[in-house]
Amino acid sequence: MENTNRSNENDFINFFRGLDEKYQQFLINEMKKPPDEENQSTEAASAGLVGDPKSR
């Protein structure tokens, strides 16, 4: 089972290395950003509105 995970990791690394250097840096910077709080609050606010028994 561990070999499968390692293989997937190696596949990703090989894929990433094949990308343009500027795009690699862009992706690294995007991964470093904290999660967007606005999107999470929107999802939580809309949860339960459609199909919720309380809304019927």
The per-residue pLDDT for range 2-52, each reduced to its tens digit, is 577 788 999 989 999 999 999 999 999 999 998 876 655 555 565 666 665
Please report the pLDDT score of residue 48 as a whole number: 63
22: domain range?
Answer: 1-27
Instruction: Indicate whether 13 belongs to any domain.
Output: yes
Instruction: Indicate whether 15 belongs to any domain.
Output: yes
Instruction: Indicate whether 40 belongs to any domain.
Output: no
CB 49 within 8 A of CB 55: yes
Instruction: Indicate whether 19 belongs to any domain.
Output: yes
pTM: 0.47
Please report the pLDDT score of residue 22 as a whole number: 96
Higher-pLDDT residue of 56, 25: 25
Please report the pLDDT score of residue 35 as a whole number: 84
Instruction: Indicate whether 51 belongs to any domain.
Output: no
Instruction: Indicate whether 52 belongs to any domain.
Output: no
Instruction: Indicate whether 45 belongs to any domain.
Output: no
Closest by CA position to 48, among listed 56, 36, 37 = 56
Instruction: Indicate whether 18 belongs to any domain.
Output: yes
Please report the pLDDT score of residue 55 as a whole number: 53
What is the total count of domains within the chain? 1
| Structure tokens, 52 | 């919720």
